[in-house]
Structure 1
Amino acid sequence: MKREFTCIVCPNGCRLHTEVENGAVTSVTGNRCPKGRDFAEKECTAPTRSLCTTVKTLGGGAPVLPVRTAGELPKKRLFEAMAVLNAYTQTVPVYCGDVLIPDLLGTGCAVIATDDWAPEAAELK
């Protein structure tokens, strides 16, 4: 099976052409640096994505808090992760970098706040 996609590891944005047989990458062309081959293999065998979204808050301020995963989740579990985060409510105060969920879906990936949401932070904005 042939797959084509754009590498997102470095600013080159190489158009990668891959061939996959029996679940293994047999050929990668189009990469201008070695990172492209690694990206292509990962993307074809076990694609992952980081996740940025918002969660509900309780305790004043804005109704939602921006969050992101501290690492990457398996792409096939993103909708499952969003269901967990849609049901999650964070009490304030919370500060940028605080770990809200230490192990999302047993993946070892934490969910962290990307903004301060505390009474004193709201006064400064």
Structure 2
Amino acid sequence: MGAAVSNKIELICIGCPLGCNLTVDMNGSEVVEVSGNNCKKGKEYAVKEVTNPTRIVTSIVRVKNGNIAVVSVKTKEDIPKSKINACVKALKDVEVEAPIKIGDVLVSNVADTGVDIVATRNIYKR
């Protein structure tokens, strides 16, 4: 078995408004050190981003009998980055009935992530 490969990954932190330039030293798939962060959120963000990246997904779904034709939606929590395409595809054919309130769950367990899709806008019945 060969030796693990060391490498450095450069990131810009999105954990807080500072936007620090981070360097993550890796030994194979193990994080050895994070540098460049000015707060603890930077280290937490860097470790998560290189070991298990996740994202909040935003999109729209069609609305039936609403005052507008679509409603903006988002994942209630972040989902694995690898599931983003499946999430977007799962929303492609979704149509919901008005009225809709902010926070209403419109799709449960999207793309088998365990995360719900919620409305981010109120839609009134026409």
- Structure-1-length-normalised TM-score: 0.89
- Alpha-carbon displacement from aligned partner over 1:33-62 (angstroms, at most 9, x marks no partner): 112111111000110000111011112322
Q: What's 2:105 paired with?
A: 99
Q: Give me the whole-angstrom Cα distance separating, in 2, the residues matched to 1:79 and 1:69.
A: 13
Q: CA deviation at 1:101?
A: 1.3
Q: What's 2:94 paired with?
A: 88
Q: CA deviation at 1:14?
A: 0.7
- Alpha-carbon displacement from aligned partner over 1:48-106 (angstroms, at most 9, x marks no partner): 00011101111232221101111001111101100001121111111111111121122
Instruction: Mark the CA change 1:37 to 1:60 in structure 2 (over 3 Å): closer, same or farther.
Output: closer
Structure 1: gaps of 5 or more residues: none
Q: Give me the whole-angstrom Cα distance separating, in 2, the residues matched to 1:90 and 1:3.
A: 42
- Give the fraction of aligned pairs with identical amino acids, expressed as a percent: 33
Q: 1:109 aligns with which of 98, 111, 115?
A: 115
Structure 2: gaps of 5 or more residues: 1-6
Letter in 2 for 1:31: N
Q: Which moved more, 1:58-67 or 1:22-31?
A: 58-67
Letter in 1 for 2:76: A
Map 1:47-62 onto structure 2 (within 5 A). Answer: 47-62=53-68
Q: 2:13 aligns with which of 1, 7, 29?
A: 7
SS of 2:9's partner is strand
Counting helix residues as a fraction of each chain, which structure ranks higher? 1
Q: Give me the whole-angstrom Cα distance separating, in 2, the residues matched to 1:60 and 1:102.
A: 21
Q: 2:23 aligns with which of 4, 8, 17?
A: 17
SS of 1:87's partner is coil
Aligned residue pairs total: 120
SS of 2:72's partner is strand
Question: Which 4+ stretches in 1 moved above 2 angstroms?
Answer: none
Q: Give me the whole-angstrom Cα distance separating, in 2, the residues matched to 1:77 and 1:64.
A: 23
